[in-house]
Every structure is written in C-alpha cells, then in structure tokens.
Amino acid sequence: MNGKDVTFLENTFKKFYFEHFDLLHVPDNPNQREFGYQKFNGGMNRHISLKSDKELHLLLMQNKPSDVYCSNARYTFPNLPMAEKDWQNADLIFDIDAKDLRKEYPKNNTLIKCSTCNETSSLSELCPNCQSTKLSFTTLTCNDCIKSTKDEVLKLNQILTDDLGINQQSIKIFFSGNEGFHIYVPKSEYEDVGSRERAEIADYIMFRGTIPETFGFRKFNMNKSTLPKFEDSGWGGRLAKHLYGTKSNRPKISQEIISGGYALFQKRLENYRDSIGIKIDPNVTQDIHRIFRLPGSINSKSGLTKIFVEDLKKFDPYVDACFIDEDEIEVVVNCPIEFSLKKKKFGPFNNEQVFVPKFAAVYMMCKGVASSV
C-alpha cells in the first residue's frame, strides 16, 4: 500500500476511534490480558499490558493502528515473553468464516488479481490480460456468504447449549469485521482446560474422528436396536435424522446399514462430516495463546468493525458494522464487480476517478481495488 493511502487510512481510523471509542473497552481482568496491534505495512506489536480504557484510548491515538488485538488468555505477567507469562486460563472462542465454508468462490462477488501482471478482473480461471494462473482472490460484500456463516453460528449455538451444557447467556456473538463471526464463551467450566482438551472440543463440534462404534455399530452380533435413534441426545439424535429422514424409515434403513457392513457405514459417517459437522476453524479454538481482534475495533481487511451482535437474524454487517462517515472523496478505482454498503450500490469501476462516500472508499482501499487521488 502506498504512503498516501496509508496516511489516509491511519487518519480515518484514528477519527473513528476518537468518535466511537464507546464501542471499545478493555475486557474483564485487563491487567491479565496481552494486547497487541499492527500498523499499515508493518509487523505485529504484542506483549503489551493495558490496565484501563484510558490506556487503550491512548494507544489508539498515539499509534494509529490498522488492527488491534487482545488475548483470550489471562496471564500473571502478560507483558513478558510467552514462556514467562504464566498462563492462568482462557475464554473459549470459536471462529466461523465464509472462506472455510466455500466450495467455490461466489461468481458475482469475487474478483481476481494477477500476481504476474497485476491486472484486476472479475472471477476467472486465468488472467484475461496475460493468461497467468497465479491469481489471488478477493470477495466483496456477499449476502449469501454471510447467510451461510449465520447458519453455522446457529448450529454451533445449539451444540454449545445442548451438548456442552453452556448457559445461553454466556455465549457472545461478534461479527469479525470481514466475512465471519467470533463466538465467545467468556465464563464457563471450560476456561481452565488446555490446548489438547480444546482440540477435542473442536473435533466433537466438527464431527471429526467419529467411528462406527460411537454410534452403536458392532462388527459382530450386530442388531438395529443399537443404531442411532431420533430421541438420542447429542450427535446420535442428529445423525439419526440424517440417516433415516423420518422415524418410519428407520427399520428399513437400519437393515440396509447392517447389510452394508462396517466399512460402508464408516464411509457414510465420513460423508456426513461435511454436511452436519460445524465448520469452525479448529486452530483458533485450540490456541490458548492467540490474540484476537478487539471488539469495537476496525478490521483492516474491510474497514468494517468487529461488533457485538444482539439479533443474529436481523444483523446486516454491511449496514450495522459500517461506521466510517459519508463525506465524499475522490479515488482511483479498478473494481470490475458491483458491491453494496449501507444499502447503496457501487461499481463496477474500470480504472476510473470517482467521488464516493468515505466508507466506500475505505472499503475498496482495504480490499486493494482503490487508491487516493
């Protein structure tokens, strides 16, 4: 990113933090948390200790960061190197992102950038300018992508409450600021468990590592009474719904499963993993030293804000998480597809100088398709 664009974005982000600091707060036990930040075109600065909102505000005003982070973990000495921090416990956090749900990029919402000739164009297998296959993909505002992530959040929420016994009031949902959601469980019986146990929780949620014996299939002396039933709790009941469809189908399909044998049932389970397992990022859940984007802060991949979601069904990130002002500015844009922000449509633009609201200019700059004039 060129220096002029960096300066523009730094000043815009600083203005946002000055005007909307009420969205940001240090979390509970701030003196036990590790904070960090990045600057545009710069590396990560971490192992920072902050004790109050006032210190956080000072950090934002002085450093004009592109991104701000805070640990899910609590430490005795959060500002020391990792080996000396003395880990105490950590909030349980899940990450659901559209990129992990896609089987293919959405045609009408994805553009490509060629690494060979730097050409930006609409979605294609080859660069239309030089025919190169060295491409990077960028997705702009996509309601279908957001809907699919919302569906996964709802499925995850059910497992957290029904299977893991987490109180609904303890589950906090945040829009990540780009294409997904972060689900926090800040206070629960799981905050003391380590990385290995969290990996097992992730496996359970993703329906990974399941074997036929888990669902009552025996290699010898098999009978259909041991297979999953609709009234079973947890994954047994969910699997029954997928296997049989209706209760009346259970006797027939159970017999088919038994006749097909162990290997065929194991293959069925593997096929169901993608369709009924929750698509979280397991690395996020099991990492007890990760620093997460601070709620209320801007995501530099989009210019949108990581924000608490009160009503997931009604939440529209392209309206509710867009806080940059509407002052018109002039930018040079090469964006070959149309996108929507704050219920306004923009583009397509073909290497044009255009006047757009600042929130749209910031979004396009963060996506790498616009630059200051």
Which amino acids are annotated catalytic? Answer: 95, 97, 281
User: Exposed, middle or buried by CB within 10 Å (0-12, 13-18, 19+), for 53?
Assistant: middle
Contacts 24+ apart (CB under 8 A), 233-238: 233/162, 233/163, 234/162, 234/163, 235/163, 235/204, 235/207, 235/210, 238/276
Segments of the chain assigned E as strands: 35-38, 44-48, 67-71, 73-75, 87-90, 92-97, 110-114, 120-122, 135-139, 172-175, 180-185, 291-293, 307-308, 328-335, 339-341, 344-346, 349-357, 370-372
Residue type, 238: R
Q: Which residues pair with 357 in a beta bridge?
A: 328
Neighbour count for residue 19 (Cβ, 10 Å): 11
Do the strands 180-185 and 172-175 form a parallel or antiparallel pair, or are they unpaired?
antiparallel
